[in-house]
Amino acid sequence: MANTEIPLVVRDLHKQFNDTPVLEGLSLEAHEGDVITLIGASGSGKSTFLRCMNLLEVPDAGEVIVHGEPVAFQTRRGKREPADWRQVERIRARLSMVFQGFNLWAHMTLIGNVIEAPRHVLGLSKREAHERGMALLERVGLADRAGYFPAQLSGGQQQRGAIARALAMEPEVLLFDEPTSALDPELVGDVLKVMRELADEGRTMVVVTHEMDFARDVASQVMYLHAGRVEEAGPPSEVLVNPESARLQQFLGPRF
């Protein structure tokens, strides 16, 4: 497949913080409809990898290519940075991110959160943004909470609202960083259900998660990271069922 048709290609990313290497050559290809899950111990680089994909962190080396468009970098005063911040904005709109801590804007209602970027970045009219926003809230089961502020919503509702907000940008790829790990156990199911529906719809997703059932059932590929490298990767039926790496066996628990 030509690069231009692949929603997200990441090649050989390297990243250091304070001279400590955190990513040591990570690559990934998310084809249309792929659900790639990133697993690994705390500190293995999962969030940093994801944040480099939409330039919340700037990789020291390596390429990020969104539907054939490579992110342009330049080096200034010895530091690598994006060459064109407008391009970064455009790329971020195409790769919407859902965070562990929801990150809804506290001073805006739920529907306000959902329509903000479509109005200002996509340039939709208030009416159109509102109609589409309400349809998205309906999809995540929150139409009756549209006028609530984030503080008036449960964690699970906030996270489903954050997913609606991400979808409102009509992204080509959805990036999730442990979307359920800040939730009380009884609220996890509703969020995972929405994510499963998105996967069933054929959305392209990259998901950092500790939810092994989700990874096993939904992922097209599982990547196990250790110390900034891919230790093992493949379909969940192999990686999660017959892991080769002793470290991954240990990570997955006593069954292995």
Ligand X SMILES: Nc1ncnc2c1ncn2[C@@H]1O[C@H](COP(=O)(O)OP(=O)(O)OP(=O)(O)O)[C@@H](O)[C@H]1O
Q: Residue 16: enclosing H or E segment and its boundaries? A: strand 8-17
Instruction: Choose the one of Mg ion, ligand X, none that binds residue 42, judging by a C-beta under 5 to 8 angstroms depending on kind.
Output: ligand X
Residue 38 · residue 46 · CB < 8 Å:
yes
> d(Cα 16, Cα 79) in Å, to the nearest integer?
12
Question: Which segment (41-49, 131-139, 149-157, 248-256) binds ligand X by CB under 6 A?
Answer: 41-49
Instruction: Choose the one of Mg ion, ligand X, none that binds residue 22, judging by a C-beta under 5 to 8 angstroms depending on kind.
Output: ligand X
Residue 229 is classified by DSSP as E
Q: Residue 14: enclosing H or E segment and its boundaries? A: strand 8-17
- Cβ proximity to ligand X: between 18 and 75 the closer is 18
- Cβ proximity to Mg ion: between 47 and 159 the closer is 47
How near is the Cβ of 202 to ligand X at its closest, in Å? 27
- Cβ proximity to Mg ion: between 47 and 96 the closer is 47
- Binding test (CB under 6 A) with ligand X, winner from 3, 5, 12, 43: 43
> d(Cα 21, Cα 161) in Å, to the nearest integer?
35
How near is the Cβ of 134 to Mg ion at its closest, in Å? 32
Is residue 42 involved in binding ligand X (CB under 6 A)?
yes
Instruction: Choose the one of Mg ion, ligand X, none that binds residue 15, judging by a C-beta under 5 to 8 angstroms depending on kind.
Output: none
How near is the Cβ of 80 to ligand X at its closest, in Å? 15
String marking each residue 17-56 x if it binds Mg ion according to CB under 5 A: ------------------------------x---------
- Cβ proximity to ligand X: between 32 and 100 the closer is 100
Which parts of the chain fold into alpha helices (H)? 46-53, 85-94, 110-120, 126-139, 155-167, 185-200, 212-218, 236-239, 246-252
String marking each residue 44-63 x if it binds ligand X according to CB under 6 A: xxxxx---------------
How near is the Cβ of 252 to Mg ion at its closest, in Å? 18
- Cβ proximity to Mg ion: between 41 and 122 the closer is 41
Q: Residue type for 55, please? A: L
DSSP, collapsed to helix, strand or coil, labels residue 27 as strand
Task: Kindly identify the residues of this chain, within the stretch 2-21, that bind ligand X according to CB under 6 A.
Answer: 17-18
Residue 182 CA from chain centroid, whole number: 15
Is residue 22 involved in binding ligand X (CB under 6 A)?
yes
Q: What is the DSSP string of 56-121?
A: SS--SEEEEEETTEEPPEEEETTEEEES-HHHHHHHHHHEEEE-TT----TTS-HHHHHHHHHHHT
Is residue 180 involved in binding Mg ion (CB under 5 A)?
no
Contacts of 102 (CB under 8 A, 6+ apart): 150, 155, 158, 159, 161, 162, 182
Q: Binding residues for ligand X, per CB under 6 A?
A: 17-18, 22, 40, 42-48
Q: Binding residues for Mg ion, per CB under 5 A?
A: 47
